[in-house]
Structure 1
Amino acid sequence: MIFMEPKQFVPSKFCLSCDVCCRFSEADSAWSPALTDTDILKLPKELINQKNKFELKSYKDVYLCPCFRLEDNRCRVYQSRPFDCSLYPFLLVKKDNKFFLGVDLKCPFLQDKQNSHEFQGFVKYLLAFLGQEDIKELIKINPQIIGDYQEDVIFLQEINLS
């Protein structure tokens, strides 16, 4: 299945100077990117653990995504990064058997933008993107990319996958 990636809301320059994403507090973090079946096939096998998630690497007091290059804050597989990564800091979450578009406000860029017209416009764009039939099908056949509710997630809108 081939699909278009969503546009990015956070400017690259900001991302490359940040120290939040791609770092996790636990080796088996719920925040680690969920991989679609296609992601698993296209990524190097040594990056993926038995749970079909990234094998996070211990570094000082955190765990790093194995694709993350600490020396320049870049992703080794950016051009073919997982769908979950292409959405971040937006994410798909479930609560009470419902699916939502959410946002992780640990992203410093969003902390300043969450009430802006620019943010609201991007949410509308992203909802339309997620409403495309091929994207809905991707999500339906890969339910693992819909994460369980996390306290740090702000729910933006329910998503209908039917």
Structure 2
Amino acid sequence: MHCRAEAGNEEAILKTGIPYPFLRNNWYLENEISTIQAVLSGAPWVTSAGRGRVGWASQQDYAEAAAAVLSGDGHDNTIYELSGQPLTQKELASALGAVLGKDVPVQQVNDDVYAKIMKGAGVPNFLIPMLVNIQKGIREGALEIESHDFEKLLGRQAAPSTKRSLNS
């Protein structure tokens, strides 16, 4: 999520007058590995993000986009919003289910229940407020970014619903 600290960093760079490209990565598909592992063990996909949408993409896609910027010309003073096709948690779970060949149930809960589930799953207490805030941010639209910048940089879309991304 593009947060205040990142905005402050961008402002500081802008004030220097040096050329820059900013790459704003939406959300790494790999951030969902623990949830995917839980699903593989028979658990439902648990979320308090509601119908909030995320532009998941793989670390590989983000790395390739960064390499294209670093090795190419014409990127000075440009901001790239790197985002896959925005999907809800339910849509991502459905894509995962298609890859796995099974139904992946989605359990929508409120933030308090989500925190309790994370605690029960062994997540350290100090991380739980951050995870709840991520779910809240998603629910409020913080990662619902429509962008074609992957296409500009890579000549293709980044899409976590593809077998390539989910099987990586």
Bin of the TM-score, shorter chain as denominator length: under 0.3
Give the TM-score normalised by structure 2. 0.27
Which fold has the larger relative contact order, with Cα–Cα distance below 8 Å and residues 6 or more apart in sequence?
A: 2
Choose between structure 1 and 2: higher strand proportion: 1
Choose between structure 1 and 2: higher helix proportion: 2
Which structure is larger by alpha-carbon Rg, 1 or 2?
Answer: 2
